[in-house]
Structure 1
Amino acid sequence: MTRISFGRRRFAVGAAAGVAGLAMPAIAQNEPIKVGVIVPLSGPAGPNGQVVAGAVKVAAELLNAKGGVLGRKLVVIAKDDESTPAVGVTRANEMVAEKVAVVIEGWNSPVTLAMQPVLARADILDITAVSKADPILSGQGNPMAVRINSSNGQDGAVCAEILLNKLGAKRIGFLTQNDAYGNGAQQVIEAELAKIGKPWEKVVVEQFPFKQTDFRVSLANVKQAKPDAVVAINAAESSGMPALIQQYRQAGIEGTFVAAVGTILPTVFRIAGEATTGIVSADIYFPDLPPFDKIKENLEFVEAYRKAHNEAPDKGAALGAAALEVWASAAAAAKSLDRKTVAGAIRGGKVPGTILGDLSFAANGQAQHKHTIFKVVDGKTAKIEAVT
């Protein structure tokens, strides 16, 4: 057994041999199936990517305890994309050389979009765990795309609901990450606001790069615009988003801080603490809340993850683990590891018995989710309450 270090975390990677696979060449019958994971393991999103990679490993161990996939054990190979598209392409080519059966990837949308053509040309199934940009499912980079997380398109409607129907905001500002994820999210939110038909005005837009942590100049401009609510779209949940929240409070901005869907994670609470109180947002997974507290597969995963990491899994962890579950279930149903065959068993269908429940997928490979809107009522204890 080898060990791979991810920052301060260490995850064991098993290499046990499995029994004969179904319809596999004789040379591969006793070999483990290689599962590639490409996420940021260093830099601003490193802690979040480490959680995803660790969760995939936990899911692999649970599957191996039940006999693996097609009678073969799974071995996880994790690589650091450094939140950089060029590095992601290099890591994708390395996974091709490793002859992995599937790659679970994606925290940053620009990295996912850069890697897609590489993996598609190599005929490797590519499942996006987290990255949200809508072009990921356009079919251009990867005609067999599958995404577990909600999309910018799905999230935009929820954000518009929060802004106009829950908060009654009329003067709205945006703090937007200047890339495919951030700009795409803002564009969709604005389109959904227009659909609702209530009057509103865009009073300020401030853009920033993914790695930025000093927002004081931008926040001075936001304060001057006097918004009723400000949408913060920042995927650097271990650095940029906590800094943005703290500096927002220090600036004394009165408008409600509305965090983009899925960006208020445990790392944000740990760093920003009390400053998160009052934030309104939404998400698709809560390990201990309905309906997940009644899903057998989720309870099994939460217990295994707590045992491995001494903490509850966050949404990123659940998405990484669910990505492996979805692939394994589809491969078992199709009795094949062929990329197109397995993708065909996912896209436009339903995959039962995952951490997220019975998961339905649109024809373009997008998982379907129900969002829960919440407000942070105590940032010190990470206490939230549903907004109805």
Structure 2
Amino acid sequence: MDFENSASFKRRGLLKAGAAAGVSSLVLPQVSWGASETPVKIGMIDPRTGVYAPAGHNEIIGATMAVDEINKKGGILGRPVQLLVEDDNSLPGPAVSKAQKLVAEDKVNFLMGTVNSAASESLSQFALQHEMLFVDTGGHADDVTGSKCHWTTFRTCSTTWMLTAGDFETLFKKFGKKWFFIVPDYAFGHALYKDYMIQLKKAGGQAAGHALAPLGTTDFSSYLIRARAAKPDVLICLQAGDDLVNLLKQAVQFGLDKQMAIAGALQEMEVLQALPKAALLGWWTFEWYWNQPGVPHVADFVTAVKKRTGGKVPTARTWFGYATAHAIAMAANNAKSLDSLKVVKALEGMELPPDVALQPGKVYYRAGDHQMMANMFPGYVPKDASYPNLFKVAEVVPSEKIALSPEAAGCKMTYPS
């Protein structure tokens, strides 16, 4: 998948190609600053390798684009912003070790990033221990801003509850009440499965069974055989990244798309771009989509990203990185401080301006649990899907309408005295 052979990466000579070795990367501002100006450093931990590498690369694209814009507008507190990027290999262990390096050696002021939910949870705990702001860009498990919420952690992407609630009613009414689940065996998959099951039982449906597949599974044949034998109305695929690519390709090879509906919670451009025509199918939830006619600033954002990526449209991951970096800068400037507690207080309830929100309605970080309230974009892959028109948004659902309250999600926020 040719996601980031982009001019923006080449143009920033210090964004190094040593991803596999975990080499730290530095994005320098494009304006001239006085030699005495100490930079504000944002440490970004995202996968450049592993199952979720394409998603991580696009989050980095969005963040680097935001840093350019921030610096052109005067940086943070009149100081240049530098983005230091580390590869977590899509895993929690490397994520924490890279965070330790960024804090101890590189002296970053704030942390952001992650795609793997287990990495998000680990970094959230690390940030709490260091009393440092961490914004989870792309790890979805409910408990990050739910039962394991911390005052230091915010999240830009949606929760797993939002992803499942975004399309549950449509799937249940359209395809039937008997579902079989193929579940990635870690925090993200477990949370999605739990959330769908709550809604399925409440609606009077039933689970025909479920199979747990390890992260990085390449052969899904045993799980697909079990799914076929269960004869469900719907096969719910809860994988993401390369795992979902492999699963959908093999499901079509097994002919399951002719025997049952195929659907799931999260779907992303990174996955759809990697699929052959025959496997472009299903009903899903997007968290952001590049084609939003009539929504201010979206077309300009798409044009700007395409210039950086050789014609590739932005994905939800691009927007996660972009919105998160801008939000950190806005909060620090509003707080007139780099102190994490003061920046946290500035972020609580902060609404993104339209040129950063890039979607309808109010987009903000909820004060009670630090969860972004934006929109869900449920829909389906059309039969004539071709890049970049790979998805048809059926409706735009405000997150506020489907999100659990902070109390219902189990968040009990405590702050340092």
TM-score by length of 2: 0.82
**Residue 306 (str. 1) matches residue 306 (str. 2):** yes
Partners of 1:168 and 1:269 in 2: how far apart? 22
Task: Report what 1:108 is aligned to.
Answer: 116
Query: Structure 1 residues 53 and 78, CA, compared in 2 at 3 Å: closer, same or farther?
Result: same
Name the Cα RMSD after superposition. 2.4
Letter in 2 for 1:307: K
Relative to its length, the structure with more strand (as a share) is 1
Q: Does residue 285 of structure 2 align to residue 277 of structure 1?
A: no
Range 303-312 or range 348-357, more displaced: 348-357
SS at match of 1:207: strand
Report 1:339-354 matches (<5 A): 339-353=340-354, 354=356
Matched residues, percent identical?
23
Q: Which aligned pairs between 1:237-316 and structure 2 lie closer than 5 A?
A: 237=241, 239-253=242-256, 254-261=259-266, 263-265=267-269, 267-290=270-293, 294-296=295-297, 298-310=298-310, 311-316=312-317
Shift of 1:176: 0.6
Is the alpha carbon distance of 1:81 and 1:63 closer, same or farther for their aligned partners in structure 2, counting shifts above 3 Å?
Answer: same
Alignment partner, residue 23 of structure 1: none
CA distance in 1, matches of 2:149, 2:364: 23
Task: Quote the residue 1:40 is aligned against.
Answer: 47
> How far did 1:281 drift?
0.7
* SS of equivalent to 1:72: coil
Greater shift, 367-376 or 221-230, is seen at: 367-376
- Matched with 1:180 is 187
**1:371 counterpart = 2:376:** yes
Deviation of 1:300 after TM superposition, in Å, equals: 4.2
Match of 1:134 among 142, 148, 159: 142
1:350 counterpart SS class: coil
8 A contact 1:129–1:320 mirrored in 2: yes
Aligned-partner Cα distance in 1 for 2:14–2:45: 18
Q: Does structure 2 conserve the Cα–Cα contact (< 8 Å) formed by 1:283 and 1:373?
A: yes
Structure 1 counterpart SS, 2:353: strand
Question: Partner residue of 1:2?
Answer: 14
Partners of 2:43 and 2:287 in 1: CA distance: 25
Q: Distance in 2 between matches of 1:18 and 1:73?
A: 9
Aligned length: 370
Distance, in Å, in 2 between the alignment partners of 1:299 and 1:12 is 29
* Segment of structure 1 superposing worse, 274-283 or 221-230: 274-283
Which residue pairs with 1:25 in the alignment?
Answer: none
Name which of 78, 96, 99 aligns with 1:92. 99
Q: How many angstroms does 1:164 deviate by?
A: 1.4
Partner of 2:157: 149
The letter of the residue matching 2:58 is V
Q: For residues 6 and 150 of structure 1, do their structure 2 counterparts lie closer, same or farther at Cα, with a shift above 3 Å needed? A: farther
1:52 aligns with 2:59: yes
Give unpaired runs (5+ residues) of structure 1: 21-27
Question: C-alpha deviations, 1:7-53, integer Å up to 9, x for none?
Answer: 69xx8821568768xxxxxxx96111111110111122112211111
Change (3 A) 1:121 1:191: same
Q: Give the distance between the partners of 2:56 and 2:178, measured in 1 at CA.
A: 35
Q: Secondary structure at the match of 2:15?
A: strand
C-alpha distance after superposition, 1:246-287 (max 9, x if no partner): 1001111121111322x232x322321213333111212112
Which residue in the other structure is 2:4 paired with? Answer: none
Change (3 A) 1:141 1:365: closer
Structure 1 equivalent of residue 358 of structure 2 = 356
Gap regions ≥5 residues in structure 2: 1-12, 396-417
Amino acid at match of 1:119: A
**Residues of 1 paired with 2:170 and 2:17: CA distance?**
40
- Secondary structure in 1 aligned to 2:272? helix
**1:347/1:193 CA distance change after superposition, 3 Å:** farther
Select between 142-151 and 220-229 the one with higher mean Cα deviation.
142-151
Task: Answer with 50-59 or 374-383: which moved more.
Answer: 374-383
After TM superposition, which residue ranges in structure 1, 4 or more long, deviate above 6 angstroms? none
CA 154–68 in structure 1, closer or farther in 2 if over 3 Å, else same: same
Partner residue in 2 for 1:71: 78
Give the counterpart letter for 1:295 in structure 2. P
Q: Deviations over 1:115-156 (max 9, x none)?
A: 222222222210000100111113746323210111012122
Q: 1:264 to 1:257 in 2, by over 3 A?
A: farther
Contact 1:59–1:301 (8 Å) recurs in 2 = no
Per-residue Cα deviation, 1:180-224 (whole angstroms, up to 9, x for no partner)? 1100111011112334x3x31110201111111110111011011
